[in-house]
């Protein structure tokens, strides 16, 4: 299974907001720091805002910030909110299934089990787990610090 860029960008955006708490980040800044398209990131931020993960504030001191603590943002919930389709194979979508072996195929069950296990694994982690002070979290903060404007 491969996550969409939308979900990839959503996770990166959330990691930045969690790694640099106490400040608001603009779409322009985040897009520049991650070298991704501003328009795509705007759609990602909108979806995260609608799902209650991010708060968007307008005005001179506006920007994006986490809507709840990083420990309260579950990775499985983020992936479910940002992925549009979990149909790993054609037969997962009954309305569009044209596979001629569906009635006799044993593949759907194991793939469904694998998808369930994938999401269950993500459900065990929060955004805090990705950015808390341990080697990976410290390394992430160093890399993000280097992407701040004026540090390039």
- List of domains in the chain: 5-86+126-146 (1.10.10.10)
- The per-residue pLDDT for range 95-112, each reduced to its tens digit, is 888 888 888 888 888 999
Q: What is the pTM of this model?
A: 0.85
Beta-bridge partners for 25: 64
3-state SS string for 47-109: HHHHCCCEEEECCCCCEEEECCCHHHCEHHHHHHHHCCCCCCCHHHCHHHCCCCCHHHCCCHH
Q: CB-based burial of residue 21 (10 Å sphere; 0-12 exposed, 13-18 middle, 19+ buried)?
A: exposed
Q: What is the pLDDT along the chain (152 residues), one digit of tens a residue?
A: 789 999 999 999 999 999 998 889 999 999 999 999 999 999 999 999 999 999 999 888 889 999 999 999 999 999 999 999 888 888 888 888 888 888 888 888 899 999 999 999 999 999 999 988 666 667 777 788 878 777 65
């Amino acid at each position: 299974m491969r996550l969409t860029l939308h979900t990839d960008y959503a996770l990166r955006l959330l990691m930045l907001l969690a790694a640099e708490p106490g400040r608001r980040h603009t779409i322009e800044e985040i897009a520049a720091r991650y070298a991704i398209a501003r328009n795509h990131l705007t759609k990602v931020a909108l979806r995260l805002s609608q799902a209650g993960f991010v708060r968007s504030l307008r005005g001179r001191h506006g920007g994006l910030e986490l809507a709840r603590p990083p420990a309260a943002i579950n990775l499985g919930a983020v992936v479910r909110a940002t992925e549009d389709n979990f149909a790993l194979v054609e037969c997962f979508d009954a309305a569009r299934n044209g596979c001629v072996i569906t009635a006799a195929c044993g593949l759907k069950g194991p793939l469904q089990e694998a998808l369930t296990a994938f999401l269950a694994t993500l459900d065990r982690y929060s955004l805090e787990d990705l950015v808390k002070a341990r080697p990976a979290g410290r390394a992430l903060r160093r890399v993000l610090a280097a992407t701040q404007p004026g540090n390039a």
